[in-house]
Structure 1
Amino acid sequence: MRKFLVVFPALVGAFVLSLVGAGFADGGLIKTKNSFGQTIYVLPPEGMSVTKGTPKHKLEVKNPYGQHPEFLRQVVAYNSEYSKGTVVVDTNARFLYLVLSNGRAMRYGIGVARSGFEWSGTHKITAKREWPGWTPPAEMRAREPHLPAYMPGGINNPLGARALYIGSTLYRLHGTTQPRSIGKKVSSGCIRLTNEDIKDLYTRVSIGTRVVVI
């Protein structure tokens, strides 16, 4: 399996991420597959360039799930009215932003609610759990009778490695057992990240952190 590199020239040195199993077409396009298994050619996200070379400083970010580079965790320019530390969930763009200082934010790719389950609002994080247990809401069990009344935390739990509970709602920011679903409309309202990303976000926010879902 070939490994290719995408370089972020705006950062000090060369920040490089690996696209394992991807190929390149003429003109710097990335050859990959979409969610239907079809071969497509896409441009690198804005601000990135593609190279087959070896990273100058040996700094790599692994991409084990074959995600498009735009959904990998990265610091981006982000000018908004939100204060530092706010979590902004952009459900249309499929990104979660943790607002930093100086017009920047840490951006995470997310999976969002499927059609009919969308929502928005401003809340706070009211609880944090590592390897949380899951109690499917009664409404969900009515739609999906095969679901258990309760599932203990662990590697097979749909909430994944961490969960951040949003206000008094039934919704959470949580990990997933389906990392390839990031970037898609898949859930019954919760916002999912890869387990690696929710672990990172978990360490950066605290109970009381403002969460804005748009």
Structure 2
Amino acid sequence: MSRQMGRRAVLLAGLALSAGPALAQAPYARRNISSFTVQDWRDHYDGLGVATIIADTASRVLHFWNSDGSDHRLYPTSVPRSDELTRRGYTEIIRKKVGPDWTPTPSQKERFGWQYMPPGPANPLGTHAMYLGWPAYLVHGTHDTRKIGRRSSDGCIGLYNAHIEELFGLCPIGTQVKVI
């Protein structure tokens, strides 16, 4: 009797171990898929202009289209940590900078004690920044890759440094941007 129970226990344990990774990943995959919303630039603009970006804060993804629509790219992002910090609407890229320095807003200085940061690995703007028509709002890189896919910023849209470098090269000044 104990020999049969031993075989059953080993068989059940083996099945549980082999199914474990699939079961552990299933809720994660469903949650990510269900939160992603496909965007079409035509739902937001009459034309693509020199290029178009739609930053979807709910899906935490940035959509890019070039001027003729032949190139559509998606980038995972970090987004503002609260709705109060999220500015939504239409703007455009007005300036671009490789190796940006960072000056925190008066609110950030008060809340966190943050100070000016020169370019470098500790800089929260990462390696590249694209400044929007709204003061203190940017699309930029980050050295802290844990922030991507999360509500973690004070208003900006953050990308992996490799992705912002690529996007930086694709977006001319005047690229239209919509944050939804």
TM-score range, shorter chain: 0.7 to 0.9
What do residues 62-112 of structure 1 show as CA deviations (whole Å, max 9, x unaligned)?
Answer: xxxxxxxx99xxxxx753313332111111110100024558620000000
Q: Give aligned pairs, total.
A: 154
Q: Which one of the candidate residues 124, 128, 139 is aligned to 1:162?
A: 128
The 8 Å contact of residues 176 and 195 in structure 1, kept in 2 or not, is answered as: yes
The 8 Å contact of residues 124 and 143 in structure 2, kept in 1 or not, is answered as: yes
Residue 42 of structure 1 pairs with residue 29 of structure 2: yes
The 8 Å contact of residues 78 and 99 in structure 1, kept in 2 or not, is answered as: no
Q: 1:126 maps to which residue?
A: 94
Q: Which one of the candidate residues 95, 98, 110 is aligned to 1:142?
A: 110
Residue 163 and residue 93 in structure 1: after superposition, are their counterparts in 2 closer, same or farther (change >3 A)? Answer: same
Report which of the two has the higher share of strand: 1
- Unpaired runs of 5+ residues, structure 2, are 1-17
SS of match in other structure, 2:109? helix
Q: 1:79 maps to which residue?
A: 40
Please report how far the alpha carbon of residue 113 of structure 1 lies from its aligned counterpart in structure 2 after TM superposition: 0.3
Residues of 2 paired with 1:211 and 1:184: CA distance?
Answer: 20
The 8 Å contact of residues 161 and 195 in structure 1, kept in 2 or not, is answered as: yes
Residue 30 and residue 206 in structure 1: after superposition, are their counterparts in 2 closer, same or farther (change >3 A)? Answer: farther
Report which of the two has the higher share of helix: 2
Please report how far the alpha carbon of residue 180 of structure 1 lies from its aligned counterpart in structure 2 after TM superposition: 1.7
The 8 Å contact of residues 41 and 54 in structure 2, kept in 1 or not, is answered as: no
SS of match in other structure, 1:175? strand
Q: Which one of the candidate residues 95, 107, 117 is aligned to 1:151?
A: 117
The 8 Å contact of residues 148 and 160 in structure 2, kept in 1 or not, is answered as: yes
What do residues 104-159 of structure 1 show as CA deviations (whole Å, max 9, x unaligned)?
Answer: 620000000011312202111111011100011111101112x11x1100111110
AA aligned opposite 1:184: R
RMSD over equivalenced CA pairs, Å: 3.0
Q: Give TM-score, length-normalised by structure 1.
A: 0.63
Q: Give TM-score, length-normalised by structure 2.
A: 0.74
Please report how far the alpha carbon of residue 168 of structure 1 lies from its aligned counterpart in structure 2 after TM superposition: 3.8
The 8 Å contact of residues 122 and 212 in structure 1, kept in 2 or not, is answered as: yes
Q: Which one of the candidate residues 114, 127, 138 is aligned to 1:172?
A: 138
Residue 187 and residue 44 in structure 1: after superposition, are their counterparts in 2 closer, same or farther (change >3 A)? Answer: closer
AA aligned opposite 2:29: V
- Unpaired runs of 5+ residues, structure 1, are 1-24, 33-38, 47-69, 72-76
User: Rg bigger for which structure?
Assistant: 2
- The higher-RCO structure (CA 8 Å, 6+ apart) is 2
SS of match in other structure, 1:173? strand
Residues of 1 paired with 2:31 and 2:111: CA distance?
Answer: 40
